[in-house]
Amino acid sequence: MALKLYLISDFNLDTLGHCLANDQSAPQLSVSSAPFGQVLPPLLTLSDCQAADFVVVWTSPEAIIPSFAESFNYKSIDEDQLISEVQQFAELLRKAHKRCQAMFVVSWTIPHFRRGNGILSLKQQGTRRLLLKMNLQLADELADCGNVYLLDGQRWMEAVGKYSYSPKLWYMTKTPFHADLCRRAARELKAAIAAVRGESKKLVILDLDNTLWGGVVADVGWENLRLGGHDYLGEAFLDFQKALKALRNRGIVLAVASKNDESIALEAISKHPEMVLRVEDFAAWRINWNDKAANIAEIAAELNLGLQSAIFIDDNRGERDRVREALPEVYVPEWPDDKTLFASQLMELDCFDAAYSTAEDASRTSMYAAERQREFSRKAACSVEEWLISLQTEVTVEEACEANRVRVLQLLNKTNQMNLSTRRLSDHELQVWLQPANRKLWAFRVKDKFGDSGVTGILSLEMEAGSARIIDFVLSCRLIGHKVENAMVAFAVEYCMAVRLKQLHARYIPTGKNKPCLSFWMSSGFSQNESENRFTWQLCDPYPFPKGIRVSPPHAYGSLVRSPQQLSVQAERASLPVANN
């Protein structure tokens, strides 16, 4: 089903609309536009009547900010007035953004042929300086709007070149931009929408020889690889590794699929003095003589990531074609023959764009390393129960708050396997949902003796008429089977018993990816209504906490042991009847 996109602009955006609607790449879009030349009325009246999932606002600075238009006439500008006009425009955006999943605002640009004040353009009252100041002010004003994204229009102009603006098209159709610029904008907007929808790539799988370094290590030895040093190709490979390291620091997982002798390849990674990437930077590797497509599938399975999350980079065209054919879900970009272009090609990819970043993202590779240690300990244990107890797992429960807001949204919108309802919400939609007193949401932070996994689970409740329903039950796939899911349910049961409810329900909504969640609930001990995928626990009985897991309740919740008077007050605040003993 196509997503609905609404375009608002003070100029003609029909060409952009056609580029977006006719582009067959995902996501598919249904595009509509506000009346020509109108910006303020559509923003003021933006509502559910447009039924838009996403909104794009692209304006000319001289049309929206009257003071800036005066700078084109070389008049003295009151900069306080200019900033005030930017703030007024930002306030309109702040009011309108709550009526869509996400709003994309394109930063203000002016044509290259507007030299303005020439060498004085970045001096006081200079046109370019004023434009920079306006864009920075707009970015600051919108910084706390979680679903508003200011897109860098200037970078689009630079990518297309001096002919991004078209005076002829402006006079003929009131379209200021060349078609190439509109195509670029369409590509950037699709990448932005994919990022907001959590569809960015999470895993880069790399070849080694003539990809990560120059030369075939088995032939020349690690000492003679072209990497770093006073060699232009060596410097190019070094910069490529630095760019990959930067991705790794952002939370993108790195892995290796190479036809090579494993011991020789790992020796090169460990011993070459110019290597930026070391063994610990890779979450997994398959270094052997097997089919690369099969190796890539194994890596994705080991890391518990879908193939659609992976990108494969190899200098060999035959290997790229093979993976494209065997694994169409994996993104395999065309790769330049010129090794000096590797770093720039990587940095230009838009598939890594993300709408938010969390501490869990930044530490993802170390989490996979910890998971390998857990797997080694599991194989050494005599039983699964013994292994789980040996992990010394600690679960800390936190109420939804500003500190965990981004991570909660990330789990809610990106987790598929252990997800009860697969409900997707924007930041604003979640805040609105949480406003009634009879709704609760908790985040579950997990750590064990091997490391801290961060916030990896969420559970939300809706309470009414003596019962509660679990709305969201989400757990990161890395922790499935660690009994954390049982601890989450036990916490929910104990909370519901503390506020004197009678029943706790969970309704499983099937998707193509959440069967592990159904398997858990079928083995949870809850009674099951198969026709409705509904699971129920009678709250006259406690739910057992799993052995070996210590659960710390949220500070806002405190002790679960309360007096009848306290329970009555809490139930009254939640508009709930207190059950009789």
Site of tokens 């989490």: 367
The answer to whether the CB of 36 falls within 8 A of the CB of 85 is: no
Question: What's the distance, CA 188 to chain centroid?
Answer: 16
Report the distance separating Cα 213 and Cα 339, nearest Å: 10
pLDDT at 559: 42
pLDDT at 577: 40
CA-based end-to-end distance of the chain: 50
pLDDT at 427: 86
pLDDT at 574: 44
Per-domain boundaries in the chain: 3-196, 203-348, 385-573
**Secondary structure string (H, E, C) spanning 201-232:** CCEEEECCECCCEECCHHHHCHHHCECCCCCH
Nearest to 520 by CA among 552, 553, 488: 488
CATH superfamily of 3-196: SGNH hydrolase (3.40.50.1110)
Nearest to 190 by CA among 31, 20, 50: 20
Report the distance separating Cα 106 and Cα 60, nearest Å: 10
* CATH level 2 (architecture), domain 385-573: 3-Layer(aba) Sandwich (3.40)
DSSP 37: T
Nearest to 213 by CA among 231, 232, 233, 229: 233
Instruction: Say yes or no: domain 203-348 is CATH 3.40.50.80.
Output: no
Task: Tell me which amino acid residue 521 is.
Answer: W
DSSP 541: S
Residue 51 DSSP SS3: coil
Low-confidence residues of the chain: pLDDT under 50: 49, 555-556, 558-581
The answer to whether the CB of 7 falls within 8 A of the CB of 58 is: yes
> Residues 6 or more apart from 548 whose CB is under 8 A from it?
388, 389, 390, 391, 392, 393, 483
pLDDT at 556: 38
Nearest to 351 by CA among 201, 249, 251, 203: 201
**Per-position b or e across 189-213, b if 16+ CB within 10 A of its CB:** bbbbbbbbbbbbbbbbbbbbbbbbb
Report the distance separating Cα 547 and Cα 553, nearest Å: 17
pLDDT at 463: 96
pLDDT in tens, 405-459: 999 999 998 899 999 999 998 888 899 999 999 999 999 999 999 999 999 999 9
Nearest to 332 by CA among 486, 165, 203, 166: 203
pTM of the model: 0.84
Distances (CA, A) of 318 to 218, 261, 324: 20, 20, 10
Common-topology check for domains 203-348 and 385-573: no
Residue 386 DSSP SS3: helix
pLDDT at 341: 98
